[in-house]
Structure 1
Amino acid sequence: MQPTLNGIIGHTLQKDEFPAFPVKIWQAVTGGRKYIYKKLSGSEKREIMTHPFRRDSRGAPMPYIEQRQKWQFFTETTIHFMDGGVARIKAPRTALEKMGALDRSRLRHSPDGNTWWLEPNTIVSGYTTSGDLVLVDKVSYNFRRPDRGEVFVFDTRGITGIQQRSNSPQGAGSHYIKRLVGVPGDSLQIVGSDLYVNDKPAEEKKIREVMRGEGRHEGWPGYQLAATEGRTRWRRYLDDPEDVLTLKSRQNQIDNGKDPIEAALYREYAAMGDNTSNSLDSRYWGHVRDYNLVGPALLSLWPLSSGHWGLIK
């Protein structure tokens, strides 16, 4: 399973500041830290191929940058260049953006969106810190419904917004882990730093801790609206104070014409990270359906030095 409890986050660091090899090994084993250095373009800009199928909301082609999982644990980003070259980097695209290699200052496009390139002297230099490897209870949801406020795991089948942003058609082998903040029939809205559920602040203990910045969430910003940058490219669900995300229940789906058995599989849930300033979640891509559910997260098994080892609450 892709370890994403706290996200795989990229950090910039100059190559001459990398530690010695034994230290790298120790940090990788105990903390999931991985150092990366790769030169992506020379003294001139390097044009990227456009994706043969993927288009943005304007109909313009997307850059041919793929993100794939290997052996269910490791993520690799591949960039296809017009000169026939291919760059493979063992990190997710979001981490590379944080490291300054694929952010807006380096990854550019023409006004019509038909040509993409990397600016001259684009270098990936830094390290990634891994999310947590998680033990999941795959039995409970066969006997009970998910509870608002618990941490749960789901696969990404059919969640179009995730696929658009990763440039990778993700299937049952790709999983996310988030806090469940909405169940079928709920209406969600972000007001200030609070999450409103059915027109009032959420009452669940863990969600309230996030809103108030209490416990291990001390200093965090609470629930934030989705960033509006790039809004015209993909739909967003909670990026304006007036936005409301409504989750359909089984009865709603029956009323929409689905048969009772199918309707149960299409019940909708909402998932958010506790640190919403650094989370891709339902604010961006909407609901999770019943057929996506895997189970509640039980234990964080690795890395040992993350500070999150143990029971997940």
Structure 2
Amino acid sequence: MFFFKKVSAEELGERPLDRKGRKEGKALIKGIRKFLRYNDDLIAEKNKESISEKRTAFSEALSDRSSKRKDLEKLAEDLTETCKKSVKGYKTSAWKENIEIIFVAVVIAMGIRAYFIQQFKIPTGSMQPTLNGIIAYPTEDMNPLSERHAPSDYKRPSLPQRLWDKFWFGRSHVDWVVDEDDILILKPENLSSKTQFFFFPRTFLVTENGQKFSAPGTQSRVEMLLNRNLQPVRGRSLVFSVKKGQTIAKGYVDTGDQLVVNKFAYHWVLPKRDDIYVFNTQGIPGIQRNLLNEERRNGISPSWATKPRQGSQHYIKRLVGEPGDTIEILGPGLLINGKAPTEMGILRVMAQEGYYTGYVRRGMSKVTLPEGKFWAMGDNSANSSDSRDWGTVPQQDIVGRAAFVYYPFGHHFGPIY
């Protein structure tokens, strides 16, 4: 009979981490990145630098396989405490155990999100009318050049109707009227958009005299509701004078479709033609370059940066071509391997029924897809940035298949085809 000596806590602390411990260490680093991203606007720059230094120290120690467990635990504890103290108002309390239980539930949910399903909100109109992005409906007197308008007799509805519209259509009504003579400044310091609760964009406007307005939706969509007849101030760009009682924005904004992405399916089968799928842009140089240039213009990334700070974005498109396919756009139709496609979704776009406008060539010639590369196009072909602009989607960047719209209920609720 063999007897195994139980290892004491002191002896265990002197040993290097095992495989499970290293995995937990990597999870901590990933969690810190999420913490910084979600609390970016709450953490002072000096605290961000402190967190970054401690994260680097922990990461380097974790990479050194000779590092002792006790040293890594000390670094991890120091890093975690620094994060907690970086958010103003954080306090430990008698509720700590309950908070930890909630944290465990969140971790489980994140695990489900990482391997099975993921929520996704469509911000743009590239997949309309199959799926809606955020859509603005200004009144015609506010913006006569808009593609869509609120009804000619539109008035901001009563509170019960507004609540129903929000529930059923994800609709927000806007009627901005200034209370005094003022100056409207449409520059980044006065007009900006911010994501709230990780998922919901909201646009804010502050006048020169400090009047504040806000509305759900991205800045580009809310700007569609602004009055195009305002009097510009001579010698000042994007600055307008407004009078007391004047309407500066009117109409409504419908939120983009919110859907569930099936991340599990593509572990078993390859993406196939006609799927509506979500992918990240990490391996698409054209998009990454545009992101970096935008960050440089906005002062987010320095001129010497080689990668965008936000990492990458997520796009949703229809899969039109698989590896080995030859795609040729004729407009409004297209050919796949020299033949007309038979897939229902692609045919619906080509038929130009309803709001479908068909495929637009946009100067594209025939292209043959290499191994591991897919061709993505928006159903709203005339207003979609897709593979015609930035090329193919690598298989490793594909997140999953769009499965089900769960909100709002009044447009496309249900399975996605």
Instruction: Name the TM-score, length of structure 1 as normaliser.
Output: 0.64
Partner of 2:75: none
Query: Are residues 1:31 and 2:169 paired?
Result: yes
Q: Does 1:160 align with 2:288?
A: yes
Task: Report what 1:3 is aligned to.
Answer: 121
Task: For 1:12 and 1:76, locate their aligned partners in 2 and report how far apart those are by CA, in whole Å.
Answer: 17
Maintained 8 Å contact 1:161/1:284: no
Deviation of residue 191 (structure 1)?
1.6
1:274 shift after superposition: 1.9
Greater Rg by CA: 2
- Return the match for 1:18 from 156, 162, 175: 156
2:349 to 207, 210, 220: 210
Contact 2:120/2:259 (8 A) holds in 1: no
Aligned to 2:195: 69
Counterpart code for 2:357: P
The answer to whether the 8 Å contact 1:77/1:91 transfers is yes
**Aligned letter for 1:153?**
V
Query: How many pairs are equivalent?
Result: 256
SS of residue paired to 2:163: helix
How far off its partner does 1:9 sit?
0.7
Equivalent residue letter for 1:209: R
What is the rounded CA distance, in whole Å, between the counterparts of 1:298 and 1:73 in structure 2? 19
Aligned AA for 2:365? V
What is the match of residue 282 of structure 1? 387
Task: Give the conservation status (yes or no) of the 8 Å contact 2:183–2:209.
Answer: no
Aligned counterpart for 1:302 among listed residues 379, 386, 407: 407
Amino acid at match of 1:46: I
- The structure where strand makes up a greater share of residues is 1
- 1:90 aligns to what? 216
Distance change (3 Å), C-alpha of 1:205 and 1:2:
closer
Residue segments in structure 2 that go unaligned for 5+ positions in a row: 1-118, 123-130, 143-152, 301-307
Are 2:403 and 2:415, in contact at CA under 8 Å, matched by a contact in 1? yes
- Report if the CA contact (8 A) 1:48-1:80 is conserved: no
Equivalent residue of 1:17, what SS? Answer: coil
Could you tell me whether the CA contact under 8 Å between 1:31 and 1:305 is conserved in 2? Answer: yes
Residue in 2 that maps onto 1:141:
266
Corresponding letter in the other structure for 1:124: A
Q: Tell me by how many angstroms 1:156 deviates.
A: 4.1
Match of 1:48, as an amino acid? K
| Per-residue deviation, residues 277-300 of structure 1 (Å, max 9, x unmatched) | 454443444433333311111112
Output the aligned Cα RMSD. Answer: 4.2
Q: What residue ranges of structure 1 are gaps of 5+ in the alignment?
A: 51-63, 109-114, 226-238, 251-266
Aligned to 1:224: 360
Does the aligned pair in 2 maintain the 1:193–1:221 contact within 8 Å? yes
The change in CA–CA distance for 1:309 and 1:90 in structure 2 (over 3 A counts) is closer
Q: Distance in 1 between matches of 2:395 and 2:205?
A: 34
Identity across the alignment (%): 29
The answer to whether the Cα contact below 8 Å between 2:156 and 2:174 also exists between their aligned partners in 1 is no
TM normalised by structure 2 equals: 0.50
Aligned to 2:238: 117
Whose helix fraction is larger, Structure 1's or Structure 2's? Answer: 2
Deviation sequence 1:226-261 (CA, Å, 0-9, x none): xxxxxxxxxxxxx22xx23747534xxxxxxxxxxx
Alpha-carbon distance in structure 1 between the residues aligned to 2:212 and 2:323:
44
Q: Relative to structure 1, is the Cα distance of residues 284 and 195 closer, same or farther in structure 2, using a 3 angstrom cutoff?
A: same
Q: Which of the residues 353, 364, 370 maps onto 1:249?
A: 370
Judged with a 3 Å threshold, the aligned counterparts in structure 2 of structure 1 residues 191 and 175 are, in CA distance, closer, same or farther, namely same
Distance 1:2 1:92, change over 3 A: farther
1:212 shift after superposition:
1.1
How much has 1:10 moved relative to structure 2? 0.7
Aligned-partner SS, 2:238:
strand
In structure 2, how many angstroms separate the alpha carbons of the residues matched to 1:92 and 1:271?
Answer: 24
Quick one: structure 1 residues 221 and 81, their matched pair in 2 at CA, closer, same or farther if it must change by over 3 Å?
Answer: same
